Structure 1
């Protein structure tokens, strides 16, 4: 990773199409430019099918653009080998999805320990961090429960902690409260923002919820492949 003072995420001229060269070609992203500063929390607002998941996947190195540059913490990832992309994704990026995707056979604390073990932490270090994260979102008493014994809001809070497990610099969240009722959504979003603010990482959070979007530092709107602020 390069200078810690540089942008945590920078997209420059990022374009993505599907069915390229065919009559039904779909231009999902059209020359998107985006910069996230350290500690900045940004809402990505877009209707379903507008391409926000594609943008998040490209930003998180799960997909590649047809054109443009993706930089993570100052490192240009264009043309980087899969091994390096995987390492940067594991070390620097955390993901949260609408559905928690927790491993059902493991407890809450074990779900947060596993990505840390894959990143080289000792089990003792991983368990200490996992329990501290669960405590920060009010789930310390539920640490040894498996996902099936947790409510939807509790499961999503565990998913947030798992995304934070390796102390990423960038959090990407795709409709993280979209599967919850409004009251639970608000509580879960509060937990997410507490984690983000306490760790000082940058976050790009896709949401349909304009009330939640208004609580973030700024709003970006994706419409017909173009990104605009405001």
Structure 2
């Protein structure tokens, strides 16, 4: 068993390589995250934090370097196996909730579990438990349009954790909310993370929120540094 849930080494990524206007987004980025650790990734818009999260979560590939999840080097796996790891081991949260509008809050959390082979009874029980942890179990039957922005994002958090991932990657998860709601929703997210003991990398431009995480790193001009 690896000491780290996520271990990326010497990642490089360039868009339009060799062409006029090429952009070197990542320049030898390395980051290791232990189980139960929450790392705040601070970067201005356009600095490459989304690219880093997508590569770490196997949604994109680096030009060079390696990504290991739970001790397994992902760069050596087939696309099919990488997809399986992404489904079973990685949870994603984005700035916008991307909930399925025709389904209730509960159903949005149940569906990914059913796709992963969980029984309907067990999936509903876990969904209700997760909704209860973030304080909106009474909104389980409501569709996204009937939920506030903060409630929608809490449902998105629950969905990301539905299949009990080992790694959570969040890209500006409260960036679309007002300051008061952002604080409340962030508290809910941190409660879920602490309860489950997973490793998490949370990208934010909010330095106050980043300061509440275990440690902070800053991505500037393609280089990652400790804050």
1:178 and 2:170 equivalent?
Answer: no
- Alignment match, 1:197: 194
1:78 aligned counterpart, secondary structure? helix
Q: 5 Å matches for 1:20-59? A: 20-59=17-56
Deviation track 1:27-74 (CA, whole Å, cap 9, x = no partner) reads: 000010100011000000000000000000000000000000000000
Distance 1:78 1:56 in 2: 15
4+ long deviations beyond 6 Å: none
* TM-score between the two structures when normalised by the length of structure 1: 0.98
Distance 1:210 1:168 in 2: 26
- Alignment match, 1:130: 127
1:97 and 2:97 equivalent?
Answer: no
Distance 1:15 1:72 in 2: 18
How many Å apart are 1:80 and its aligned residue?
A: 1.5
Distance 2:151 2:109 in 1: 14
How many Å apart are 1:21 and its aligned residue?
A: 1.1
How many Å apart are 1:159 and its aligned residue?
A: 0.1
Deviation track 1:71-118 (CA, whole Å, cap 9, x = no partner) reads: 000000113211101110011100000000000000000000011011
Distance 2:144 2:116 in 1: 23
2:24 aligned counterpart, secondary structure? strand
1:214 and 2:226 equivalent?
Answer: no
1:221 aligned counterpart, secondary structure? strand
* TM-score between the two structures when normalised by the length of structure 2: 0.99
1:85 and 2:89 equivalent?
Answer: no
How many Å apart are 1:120 and its aligned residue?
A: 0.8
Distance 1:92 1:198 in 2: 17
Distance 1:42 1:33 in 2: 13
Q: 5 Å matches for 1:147-186? A: 147-186=144-183
- Alignment match, 1:116: 113
Long gaps (5+) in structure 1: none
1:176 aligned counterpart, secondary structure? coil
